[in-house]
Structure 1
Amino acid sequence: MDSKSILPKPDDISSSCIGKKGNSSRLLIVIIVPVVGTVIIFGFLYSCWLNRKMRKIRTEGSKSDSTPSAFGEDSQSMDSTMDSLLFDLKTLRAATNNFSDANKIGEGGFGAVYKGLLSSGLEIAIKRLSRNSGQGTEEFKNEIALLAKLQHRNLVRLLGFCLEAKEKILVYEFVPNKSLDYFLFDTDKQSQLDWPTRHKIIVGIARGLLYLHEESRLKIIHRDLKASNILLDSKLNPKISDFGMARIFFMEQSQANTTRIVGTYGYMSPEYAMHGQFSVKSDVFSFGVLLLEILSGKKNSCFNNSECSQDLLSYVKYMLHDPKVVLLFYCSIV
């Protein structure tokens, strides 16, 4: 047999090699493409999951950072601040002669206020909340948190607090002349409030309110601005007090809603009293009512002394239609 006929031809070898290479390439494609596709799909799904998780973390972080806080600090700093304001109940009992009636200087819906004298000689005012008062622990802590960071000459200064033996006690600077209503609605004491003094009181309240709304580190709505919550110092300078019902706002926040209406009727704005909507305007409305009381020396809730049939706002609105009354009123205050 011829050797040439036994050996494969070069063309046959070439085609055989090409066939084997083609089969190998197809096999690699069949194996690699699904694997790569699976990796890409899982990588895409993981990327989506990771992005979603990161967005959630950033959102929660931004909410945490933007939530208004009375302290504007972390919990550790807040605890440190609270500890520095803590008074011992034994100390307060000694300062007030065991909360004797002789040291009582006032009483409101939330409890009694006592004058106290510390061993250092510092005079203090102690607000002792009654156990069945409407101000619970939440409002109590709210007032502490707010006043601890607020510093203005027209706001009463908080010195400390006590939470011991089921007592809830706030300790303030002592303001000797009690509250504005003590002078304003007493026919014998009204004479001490001449026009320059009333003007000074009005301006001081306005400055304190402006600080709460615009100039402090926090934006605060008082929600219970009235004559009994304006304290007067030895020179009859006003100091806004009682922040148990106050609310903190975001700086860009304009209003909020609540289903729990708190405050004093007669001083409440209509949208707050009827719908629970409160804002800076709510405090301004209360300030307007207080302004009319300071100018007239009459209570808004009982303007007509005989029957209390007409409130001060309705009376003023009615009288403003008489030009003679408007002219007389203008001449009296100029």
Structure 2
Amino acid sequence: MVVAVNLCRGYMFSSVAGLNSKYVSTDGNDLSSTGCKVSSVSVPSTPRSEGEILQSTNLKSFSFSDLKMATRNFRPDSVLGEGGFGSVFKGWIDEQSFCATKPGTGIVIAVKRLNQDSFQGHKEWLAEVNYLGKFYHPHLVKLIGYCLEDEHRLLVYEFMAQGSLENHLFRRGSYFQPLSWNLRMKVALGAAKGLAFLHSAEIQVIYRDFKTSNILLDSKYNTKLSDFGLAKDGPTGDNSHVSTRVMGTYGYAAPEYIATVMSIALELFC
């Protein structure tokens, strides 16, 4: 409940310059449906030296050509948002076969494509796959699958129709309306539950990027945490990590974390 109150006090009324927006719904045109090659193998065909995808993950392995078709060749009007990782595109796939389908058919997905010039890279991509691949919780965004092919690094998520909390708090327009107090409390409580789940896991997870642009909302304003590229296993017992590389967004980071001390308690800072 402490996190829920902090979200209302801090995130509902404060803005930090430079935050990246996510998942703004847009409409698209037709795409001819074609065959696809999708497998459910856990280990990619081109693993990197930084590590492999966990064997325990239950994710779909997509080919780059399949995701290219699903997003209509990554057309500009399919862009949902952009961030440090790269761009996020809207796409459509069949719910059973996971093959690309025409817009308006099948299920809607969000495809995050790593920009080759991004300051984030394979390490963050791999962290996202491994954490979201092994965890399932109603307040964590669902990762459907990934693409690891040559230089291409992509992630396939469930589509969050209402976009990010940041957009609803700090943008105005016909699509983004101010949230009622009841909705704000619902969003705050959902975010708190997602964070509590990570902190209470058998091996605690330090999220390290808890901010409004990473809090996504579905069509019913249910809250789901996203973007686990900076997540890290927490310390054991009463110990704390010493972080040699401060990551995340400074405006949301606790002073102790900036001073290189890292623990789950610091994520309650507001």
How does the TM-score come out when normalised to structure 1?
0.59
Q: Give the number of aligned pairs.
A: 209
1:282 aligns with 2:262: no
* 1:254/1:280 contact within 8 Å kept: no
Distance in 2 between the 1:76 and 1:143 partners?
A: 12
Task: Specify which of 129, 136, 155 is matched with residue 121 of structure 2.
Answer: 136
Aligned to 2:183: 197
Report what 2:54 is aligned to: 78
User: In the alignment, which residue of structure 2 is the partner of 1:114?
Assistant: 89
Contact 2:64 2:149 in 1 (8 A): yes
2:221 maps to what in 1?
Answer: 236
Q: CA distance change for structure 1 residues 93 and 187 in 2, over 3 Å: closer, same or farther?
A: closer
Do the aligned partners of 2:242 and 2:262 also contact (CA within 8 Å) in 1? yes
* CA shift for structure 1 position 110: 1.3
Shift of 1:80: 6.5
| Structure 2 residue identity aligned to 1:118 | I
Alignment of 1:169-180 (within 5 A): 169-180=154-165
One-letter amino acid matched to 1:205: A
Give 1:210 shift.
Answer: 0.5
Tell me the CA shift for residue 149 of structure 1: 1.3
Q: Matched residue of 1:231: which SS?
A: strand
Separation in 2, partners of 1:137, 1:128: 11
Tell me the percent identity. Answer: 42
Kept in 2: contact 1:95–1:119 (CA 8 A): no
Give 1:129 shift: 1.0
**Separation in structure 2 between the aligned mates of residue 238 and residue 256 of structure 1, nearest angstrom:** 29
Give the SS at the match of 1:112. Answer: strand
**Structure 2 residue ranges without an equivalent (≥5):** 1-50, 96-105
Return 5+ residue gaps in structure 1 as ranges: 1-74, 289-334
Q: Distance in 2 between matches of 1:174 and 1:191?
A: 19
Question: Residue 89 of structure 1 corresponds to which residue in structure 2?
Answer: 64
Greater fraction strand = 2
Supply the AA of the counterpart residue of 1:263: G
SS in 2 for 1:211: helix
Deviations 1:65-97 (A, max 9, x none): xxxxxxxxxx99934637x53111111001000
Instruction: Kindly indicate whether residue 102 of structure 2 is the aligned counterpart of residue 102 of structure 1.
Output: no
Q: Whose helix proportion is higher, 1 or 2?
A: 1
Output one character per residue of 1:41-62: Cα deviation in whole Å (capped at 9) or x when no partner.
xxxxxxxxxxxxxxxxxxxxxx
How far apart in 1 are the matches of 2:56 and 2:181? 45
Partner residue of 1:11? none
TM-score, scaled relative to structure 2: 0.72
Deviates more, 1:222-231 or 1:244-253: 244-253
Q: From the superposition, tell whether residues 115 and 278 of structure 1 become closer, same or farther in structure 2 (CA, over 3 Å).
A: same
The 3-state SS of whatever aligns with 2:62 is coil
